[in-house]
Amino acid sequence: MASTDITLHQDVHHNHDAHDTDHDHHDQHWLFKYVFSQDHKVIAKQFLITGIIWAFIGGALSSIFRIQLGWPQATLGWLEPFLGKWVEGGKLSTEFYLAMVTMHGTIMVFFVLTAGLSGTFSNLLIPLQIGARDMASGFLNMLSYWFFFLSSIIMFLSLFLETGPASAGWTIYPPLSALPQAISGSGAGMDFWLVSMVFFIVSQLLGGINYITTIINLRTQGMSMTKLPLTIWSFFLTAVLGVLSFPVLVSCALLLIFDRSFGTSFYLSEIYVGGEALSNVGGSPILFQHLFWFLGHPEVYIVILPAFGMVSEIIATNARKPIFGYRAMIGSMLGIAFLSFIVWAHHMFVSGMNPFLGSVFMFLTLIIAVPSAVKVFNWLATLWRGNIVFTVPMLFSIGFVSLFISGGLTGIILGNSTLDIKFHNTYFVVAHFHLVMASSAFFGLFAGVYHWYPKMFGRMMDEKLGYVHFWLTFIGVYFTFMPMHYVGIAGFPRRYYSYTSFDMFNTMANLQMFISVSAIVAWIGQFIFGFNFVYSMFRGRRASQNPWRSNTLEWTTPVVGIHGNWPGAIPTVYRWPYDYSKPGAEDDFIPQNIPYAQTPSSNLPHEKNLP
């Protein structure tokens, strides 16, 4: 990339922060400089671009099945050139429908919102915001991306298998996911899914270990934990969640591999399928669900926490006000992170598990609503009496708060086991998680991309296109997912190919069409973002060093990034990152690396004697 110069500069000081003792850049082959790069900024961009490509693919899949849901009578012959035998006689194959639903979920949750979100921003921002030359291990970091790439290739290839990709829902419950006789996607497609996910988890673990180590060990002089920007706190906690919970998914997947290919019965018992009684006895499908959701629930917090951190940062910067309740924000993230491990079985209220567990998990789940609410109140208080600049990242951050409120509140209904009897596996659940994940987390992703684009590419994204993108998407997601609640209250189950088999569901056809139109229009609107992203990389307005007038350390590095981040010594940090509009200060922001000694007019009483 022309925007990042990662050759070593003559005048970098090789002092105690030795970062390049193990290789000589002057003779570095382009393969190791640009492809298998160990520079965190390059790796961040690799994750971002891969994530964006996957997002378009995942969105395309959802557009296809929304066409089926919106126009169930239509003949889709025009899709045959693209989908081949998956469209038979003008009708989408019922198995392919489930394959698309499965792959849409898998791609969006894992490849876009986990790798594309954490992978990009943890990599980009951790060294820059804590004041480090690079990650603790550039090598592990490089491996983390390339394992993700390998995982992506395998998952992508699975889309083209004869028997189809995995089709048992992104939650892949056995026995459906264990038995090819039950659905054809559980043949080779499921094998590919499992292998891909194992590599994906390796990637996440390598990354997570790196992020945690770097944050703990490589903070610059003066950067105590309580002077860290909230972005870093969120990436730190996200990495901790990942390192503790992803291995459980590995064990879950491993036992499924054994059941599928090596004759074991961890999840299988007393099955008659495909005209024969299988020999498996003693296994429990519920075991799978416990193992899966033990990761599955922290996973959704892994998705949302980085967005929490980035939005906090962006709102403070653009409201020109300190984030309200910095310590409460840290405390609430700690609370959410801890609680996220002990609520998993709220996905299993009607699974047949002991109802006593239902009571326990309902209680724990509703506790987690409290820190989430606290965060929303703190964001509102940050806006109050601010002086708000509506940059594109700020628009997406405000949109994030709105969508998180909408989606989070319905979580309170679903966390109540009694009400879950009514809503489990209906569109009410689909509406809930699409508002918190597909909308909120995606908005966090967009906010982050627009905000840190100048840091990644040395140029600004176009603002007007950004405004159009924001409003189109904001209206689009609300139009798509708010009506879905009605469909859920009416009891419509999810993952249904069509609703014409039931009198009780043979209604709301107009609403289904409306939802489909909104979804497809919203997806098409993302091409505006795609164009803006690519175009601005080459023809965007060149950025200044600190275009957002922000306090954090990444804006003290040169516009065109260099290997080692700072040309001279790494700045020392004196203050927290939220001195915006401080009374008595010359300007409406004071960066973290400005000593208190230099700002006598704005120092608070307890800061007067600080360096």
Partner 1 sequence: MITLAIILSLALLGVILYLLFRIQVLSSVFRGSFNKRVSTSNRVNAILFILFLILGMGAFIWSFGVAKKDFTQPVASVHGKWIDDMFWTTMAVIGIVFFITQVLLFVYSYRYQYKENRKAYYYPHNNRLEVFWTLIPAIVMAVLVFSGWKAWSKITNPAPADAVVVEILGKQFNWLVRYPGKDNELGTVKHTLIDASNEFGYDVRDKKALDDIVQPTEFHIPKGKPVLFKIRSRDVIHDVWQPNWNVQMHAVPGMPTKFWFVPTKTTAEMATETGNPDFKYEIACSQICGQGHFAMRIVVIVDEPEDYETWLAAQKPFSETGAELFAKASETPAAIVSAEKKEIKTEEVKAAL
Amino acid at the residue 59: G
For β-strands 272-273 and 276-277, DSSP reports them as antiparallel
Q: Kindly tell me which of 14 and 542 has the beta carbon lying closer to partner 1.
A: 542
Does 583 bind partner 1 (CB under 8 A)? Our answer is yes
3-state secondary structure of 426: strand
To partner 1, the closest distance from the beta carbon of 431 in angstroms equals 12
To partner 1, the closest distance from the beta carbon of 126 in angstroms equals 24
Interface pick for partner 1 out of 464, 568, 605, 606 (rule CB under 8 A): 464
Does 422 bind partner 1 (CB under 8 A)? Our answer is yes
To partner 1, the closest distance from the beta carbon of 358 in angstroms equals 6
To partner 1, the closest distance from the beta carbon of 401 in angstroms equals 6
- Residues 476 to 495: which contact partner 1 by CB under 8 A? 478, 482-483, 486-487, 489-491, 493, 495
- Residues 272 to 291: which contact partner 1 by CB under 8 A? 272-273, 277, 281-286
Task: Give me the 191-210 binding string for partner 1, x by CB under 8 A, dash otherwise.
Answer: --------------------
Full 3-state SS string of 67-117: HHHHCCCCCCHHHHHHHHHHEECCEECHHHHHHHHHHHHHHHHHHHHHHHH
Q: Kindly tell me which of 115 and 307 has the beta carbon lying closer to partner 1.
A: 307
Question: Phi, psi (5° rounding) for residue 88?
Answer: -110, 120
CA-based R_g, the chain, Å? 25
To partner 1, the closest distance from the beta carbon of 413 in angstroms equals 6
Burial letters 241-259, b for 16+ CB under 10 A, else e: bbbbbbebbbebbebbbeb
DSSP code for 135? -
Q: Kindly tell me which of 11 and 503 has the beta carbon lying closer to partner 1.
A: 503
- Residues 517 to 556: which contact partner 1 by CB under 8 A? 541
To partner 1, the closest distance from the beta carbon of 204 in angstroms equals 26
Interface pick for partner 1 out of 82, 160, 502, 538 (rule CB under 8 A): 502
- Given a contact cutoff of 8 angstroms between Cβ atoms, the answer to whether 584 and 601 are in contact is yes
- Given a contact cutoff of 8 angstroms between Cβ atoms, the answer to whether 293 and 307 are in contact is no
Q: Kindly tell me which of 201 and 253 has the beta carbon lying closer to partner 1.
A: 253
Q: Kindly tell me which of 32 and 173 has the beta carbon lying closer to partner 1.
A: 173
Q: Kindly tell me which of 8 and 357 has the beta carbon lying closer to partner 1.
A: 357
Q: Kindly tell me which of 471 and 538 has the beta carbon lying closer to partner 1.
A: 471
To partner 1, the closest distance from the beta carbon of 35 in angstroms equals 31
Q: Kindly tell me which of 84 and 282 has the beta carbon lying closer to partner 1.
A: 282
Which of 73-80's residues contact partners 24+ apart within 8 Å by CB, and which partners?
none
Interface pick for partner 1 out of 412, 472, 559, 594 (rule CB under 8 A): 412
Does 449 bind partner 1 (CB under 8 A)? Our answer is no
Q: Kindly tell me which of 384 and 538 has the beta carbon lying closer to partner 1.
A: 384
- Residues 126 to 165: which contact partner 1 by CB under 8 A? none
Q: Kindly tell me which of 568 and 583 has the beta carbon lying closer to partner 1.
A: 583
Query: Distance (Å, rounded) from C-alpha 236 to C-alpha 558?
Result: 25
Query: Distance (Å, rounded) from C-alpha 17 to C-alpha 37?
Result: 20
Beta bridge partners of 277: 272
- Residues 221 to 260: which contact partner 1 by CB under 8 A? none
To partner 1, the closest distance from the beta carbon of 66 in angstroms equals 15
To partner 1, the closest distance from the beta carbon of 392 in angstroms equals 10
Does 503 bind partner 1 (CB under 8 A)? Our answer is yes
CB atoms within 10 A of CB 167: 28
Could you tell me which stretch among 58-66, 122-130, 207-215, 384-392 binds partner 1 (CB under 8 A)? Answer: 384-392
Interface pick for partner 1 out of 28, 137, 402, 572 (rule CB under 8 A): 402
Interface pick for partner 1 out of 43, 107, 268, 519 (rule CB under 8 A): 268
Between the alpha carbon of residue 279 and those of residues 262, 276, 325, the distances in Å are: 13, 9, 59
Could you tell me which stretch among 148-156, 224-232, 246-254, 473-481 binds partner 1 (CB under 8 A)? Answer: 473-481
For β-strands 4-5 and 561-562, DSSP reports them as parallel
Q: Kindly tell me which of 213 and 602 has the beta carbon lying closer to partner 1.
A: 602
Residue with tokens 């209680």: 363
Could you tell me which stretch among 42-50, 89-97, 111-119, 293-301 binds partner 1 (CB under 8 A)? Answer: 89-97
Query: Distance (Å, rounded) from C-alpha 111 to C-alpha 103?
Result: 11
* H-assigned helices in 540-574: none
Closest CA to 40 of 115, 125, 99: 125
Residue with tokens 């969508």: 403
Q: Kindly tell me which of 140 and 419 has the beta carbon lying closer to partner 1.
A: 419
Could you tell me which stretch among 18-26, 106-114, 115-123, 412-420 binds partner 1 (CB under 8 A)? Answer: 412-420
Does 91 bind partner 1 (CB under 8 A)? Our answer is no
- Given a contact cutoff of 8 angstroms between Cβ atoms, the answer to whether 482 and 431 are in contact is yes
CB atoms within 10 A of CB 18: 9
| Count of chain residues binding partner 1 (CB under 8 A) | 122
- Given a contact cutoff of 8 angstroms between Cβ atoms, the answer to whether 167 and 100 are in contact is no
Closest CA to 512 of 494, 529, 525: 494
Closest CA to 550 of 592, 520, 596, 586: 592
Does 95 bind partner 1 (CB under 8 A)? Our answer is yes
To partner 1, the closest distance from the beta carbon of 224 in angstroms equals 17
Closest CA to 485 of 563, 432, 420: 432
Q: Kindly tell me which of 315 and 570 has the beta carbon lying closer to partner 1.
A: 315
Direct distance between the N- and C-terminal alpha carbons of the chain, in angstroms, rounded to an integer: 40
- Given a contact cutoff of 8 angstroms between Cβ atoms, the answer to whether 526 and 473 are in contact is yes
Task: Give me the 306-345 binding string for partner 1, x by CB under 8 A, dash otherwise.
Answer: -------------xxxxxxxxxx-----------------
Question: Phi, psi (5° rounding) for residue 462?
Answer: -70, 130
Closest CA to 46 of 156, 120, 98, 111: 120
Query: Distance (Å, rounded) from C-alpha 117 to C-alpha 140?
Result: 18
- Residues 170 to 189: which contact partner 1 by CB under 8 A? 173-176, 179, 182-183
Task: Give me the 22-41 binding string for partner 1, x by CB under 8 A, dash otherwise.
Answer: --------------------
Does 390 bind partner 1 (CB under 8 A)? Our answer is yes
